[in-house]
Chains A and B, each alone.
Chain A
């Protein structure tokens, strides 16, 4: 009897200690964010930089549910095989609680079954194909982990371009004949018919349309045809294509019309200076610019520039928003358990740095007043930028390229 009591007490004490240590370990274990992104490309580097910024900010304020945030990046390149192995590494080896990233739609689509299998939430910040979120609708239980915060899917983008064409190209510039040039990627092929239909419904005639291979680096024949078609405005749809060369050659050819549209490389703040000012006059879709879209925009922009010495590309605001959005959802759910966090994300109406973030039924970000919208930003004199559309956030009026007379 005399030996049993101390024995039992020691055991109970040891057990309690072990349990408390276990609990402490669990609570101090960081919440890990896995980044699947092409780390050699600028979009990848800025995804990582933006996440780092958000993580540092949140940690400085005490973290989430008493835990710090941490992140780890895995290169997905533009190769599906690399992407799939990146997903596996982040989920099975690093045991990330959430995945943020994406850029090339082909890679994302290949990754999705593997993401679904790992039952980890994935928040997209760079790939635009509608097929990515369509899977959520087709098999909710399997793919409910997929969310897209940025960019707007290509169908929504088409609709917003129609809007721009109607109000700015036709309305402000008085031009109703357009030509469309785009790269032959699948997402463009899906976007163009929607675009054409919308334009024609608004009384804008599409007199020439042509897609080209993304490796093309000689556009002069295309510009000749655009000129001959009688078009008055050139709509562009470029993402992987050689935008630098496109713009330089357009300037060389002095194409006699204003132009603009989607040009992902032109979103980069140093694009215009990179091409020696040849881009002056180009209007490009942007997801963020240094303008007060929301009260958080300019603080985010300035902070990013201060820390990284360069302005952010389009994946950065999405990545930054995703971290904050996830942190908010985890706080509301009280846990990092995926199913519970998903429930919160589905109800989100969260103010980010480029607009409010809200998801539709297939977890795709929506547009609309107050939400995330395409900003039509034009390169103007001396490579300054002005938001020319939508009216509510415009900082300047659209101008003609310097060599085009009215």
Chain B
């Protein structure tokens, strides 16, 4: 029982890390960033390259990777997304192309075989009698810290208020002198950093292959739909719901169905309450 409790928390933490960034950029800039999974993949592959090829110590590699992914996100927003902002479909398509191109680039540069991202903690840790892999617990801790820090940043700082203002009413915010474009870049950078960090921290125990962006995207989608597009608390709540459901199904029911849990969750949400647990009303 305790295993399921702790294990579910770890699963939910990873889901939350992926979903929060995705929902954030949508809430603020109305961008459905289909390249979000690519940020996750890039984070993991950067960590791999910096440690395996450039032989940097893990902590340095981790921080540099997250920074690189953040920069990549900002660059993508500035160069590719901003000129196309009038058409949401165009933005959708261009982020999609970035994701597909990135996936292919990873295939070509790194090959199709899995890569090994080193872990910070390599051995099991005993928590209340439950033996769990140290890296997973670390992932849980880091996810909580990062999301918590993000939440505090948005709620308590001036910049955070600016972000909130933009997400509520971009025009009014701009009249107030808030530089929308710079906020968008900042938020994209934060979103990418979160996804990249997820890649670095979960890479050691989840799979690192060029196609890893796809599973990340589907995961992010399901959590964000259930939680409500644009709502960070919603994403966290949905991550817990889906994470624990998956764990429950895997441990007590049939592990074959863990993949369908997120799909069923999406279906139920869209049929019963399309705006998600905490999203804004979306009926036409």
A-to-B contact residues, CB < 8 Å:
40-42, 184, 210-213, 215-218, 220-222, 224-225, 242-245, 248-249, 252-254, 265, 268, 270, 274-276
Contacts and interface: CB of A to CB of B under 8 A. Distances in A.
B207 A242 contact: yes
Given A212-B255, A265-B113, 6 more contacts: A42-B111, A217-B207, A243-B114, A244-B207, A245-B205, A252-B205
A252 B131 CA distance: 9
Interface centre among A218, A243, A253, A275 (most CB of B within 10 A): A218
B256 interface: yes
B112 interface: yes
A193 to B, nearest CB: 16
A221 B207 contact: no
Nearest to B218: A215
A245 B3 CA distance: 20
Interface in B199-219: 204-209, 215
B223 to A, nearest CB: 15
A366 to B, nearest CB: 31
B85 interface: no
Contact of A242 (B11, B114, B124, B204): B114
B4 to A, nearest CB: 8
Given A222-B250, A252-B133, A41 B112 contact: yes
B115 interface: yes
B133 A210 contact: no
B255 A276 contact: no
Contacts of A253: 124, 131, 133
Contact of B112 (A40, A245, A274): A40
A275 B107 CA distance: 19
A382 to B, nearest CB: 17
Contact of B256 (A210, A245, A270, A274): A210
Interface centre among B3, B115, B258 (most CB of A within 10 A): B258
A312 B127 CA distance: 43
Nearest to A181: B255
Nearest to B112: A41
Contacts of B258: 212-213, 216, 218, 221
A248 B247 CA distance: 19
A42 B112 contact: yes
B259 A215 contact: yes
Given A210-B256, A212-B256, A213-B256, A245 B133 contact: no
B26 interface: no
Interface residues of B, number: 29
What 9 pairs across the A-B complex have the smallest Cβ distances?
A: A221-B250, A244-B114, A252-B133, A242-B207, A41-B112, A221-B251, A213-B259, A245-B207, A217-B207
A245 B258 CA distance: 17
12 contacts: A40-B107, A210-B254, A220-B7, A225-B255, A244-B114, A244-B116, A244-B207, A245-B207, A254-B124, A265-B114, A274-B113, A275-B116
A217 B255 contact: no
Interface string B168-199: 00000000000000000000000000000000
Interface centre among B107, B114, B205 (most CB of A within 10 A): B114
A248 B112 contact: no
Contacts of A224: 3, 251
B148 to A, nearest CB: 24
Contacts of A252: 124, 133, 205
A181 B165 CA distance: 52
Given A40-B112, A224-B3, A268-B113, A248 B256 contact: no
Contacts of B250: 218, 221-222
A248 B251 contact: no
Interface string B101-140: 0000001000111111010000010000001010000000
B205 A216 contact: no
Given A42-B111, A252-B205, A225 B251 contact: yes
A249 B250 CA distance: 15
A248 B123 CA distance: 11
A58 B205 CA distance: 46
Contact of B247 (A40, A215, A221, A276): A221
